[in-house]
Amino acid sequence: MLFKRFAENPLVTTADVVPSMDGFEVIGAFNAGVAERDGEVLMLLRVAERPPQVEGFVSYPVMEAGAVNVHRLPLSDPAVDVRDPRVICHKGVVYLTSISHLRLARSRDGRSFTVDEAPTLLAEEPYEEFGIEDPRVTLIDGAYYINYSAIARTGITTVLRRTRDWRCFDRLGVVFPPDNKDVAVFPGMAGGLYWAFHRPCSGFGQLPRTWLASSPDLVNWGGHTCLLSPRPGMWDGLRIGCGSPPIRTEAGWLSLYHGADESQRYSMGGVLLDLSDPRRVVARSDEPLLAPEAPYETEGFFGGVCFACGHLLRADGSVWLYYGAADTVMAGAAAPLSGILASLGV
């Protein structure tokens, strides 16, 4: 594999995170967006918390009017389906067993992190009632654009927020309607427009595909184009979605994206897009650049997952990729940018 794991892995575990609510248990600190500011490396973690349980019931959290309330359903009710540990299905509605918020972890060297004691962004709006997840951060003209998945019974939407100081976060609205995940905004324009990856759901083709959208202002999006489909039999044969925001290189926009194979093993690979028209795919990894092998990747809440939402481009020309491992912890790995491009035939 081209990417070499950090010796410090895992970089953040659930033990490093103070629960945001009394009695709740932190079950995941993963899938972080990444940014740099004033010499500090910021990981905006997804922190998943599970409420206290009562014998004979399944308890689940719902944000209502700004507060998280715990509801419960009797396990003896045959209409309560808890076979998937992540969700509860009940009478046509899907609830989550945990609720996620976003919280900063900070580092001077990009390898040793300290997690903030308080959440940075919490579920607040009705369309966030089941939590906010999987942020990506894109720096454009001095402002950090943060998008995340907002989960509610009305569906999975993408919310865009903007900050300059990491204290005030403007709401720019729901930018993609349900269901849509794995959104990442490009760190610059092409052809006079902003661009973003997104992954809408379809009941038609069934295999989720990665689309591109363009925008004049980052708030309103159109020009939707289907960009990448899963490749049955390959490392990205079952499911794909963007990873971190793409890297602008002379050879094109380089995106490191996740793919799952038919055994639900999530790896990371690369795709290169034309610099002036990112709807044109130049090259795509035949083999993954990072696949789950380390114990913290193969075992956890959902084992066999490397899922990156952010990276750093270092002064020495290496890419430091930060990724959620097994839907539980954060890890890091490095590869030379030139090596990634060479693997794509550039």
List residues binding a second copy (CB under 8 A): 92-94, 126-127, 151-157, 172-180, 198, 200-207, 209, 211, 213-217, 219-226, 229
By C-beta, is 9 or 180 nearer to a second copy? 180
User: Closest CB to a second copy among 180 and 255?
Assistant: 180
Distance CA 191, CA 292 (A): 37
> Closest separation between CB of residue 325 and a second copy, Å?
26
- Residue whose CB is less far from a second copy, 32 or 48: 48
User: In the bound complex, what is the minimum distance in angstroms from residue 218's beta carbon to a second copy?
Assistant: 9
d(CA 128, CA 230): 29
Distance CA 258, CA 302 (A): 15
Measured over all CA atoms, what is the biggest interatomic distance in the chain, rounded to whole angstroms? 60
5, 41, 229, 310, 339 from 319: Cα distances, Å: 12, 14, 25, 10, 10
If the CB atoms of residues 21 and 94 are measured against a second copy, the closer one turns out to be 94
Task: Quote the least distance from Cβ 333 to a second copy, whole Å.
Answer: 32
Which candidate, 189, 185, 184, 183, places its Cα nearest to that of 277? 189
How far, in Å, CA of 145 to CA of 4, rounded? Answer: 29
Comparison of 114 and 202: residue with beta carbon closer to a second copy: 202
CB of 147 to a second copy, least distance (A): 12
Cβ nearer to a second copy, comparing 32 with 213: 213
Cα–Cα distance, 128 to 154 (Å, whole number): 9
- Is the separation of the CB atoms in 63 and 152 below 8 Å? no
CB of 69 to a second copy, least distance (A): 19
Indicate the residue among 76 and 206 with the shorter CB distance to a second copy.
206
3-state class (DSSP) for residue 338: helix
Tokens, residue 60: 């689940």
CB of 280 vs a second copy, minimal distance in Å: 15
Smallest gap from Cβ 40 to a second copy, in A, equals 31
Per DSSP, the residues of 143-167 read EEEEEEEEEETTEEEEEEEEESSSS
Token pair for 73: 């359903």
Give the whole-angstrom CA distance, residue 280 versus residue 146: 25
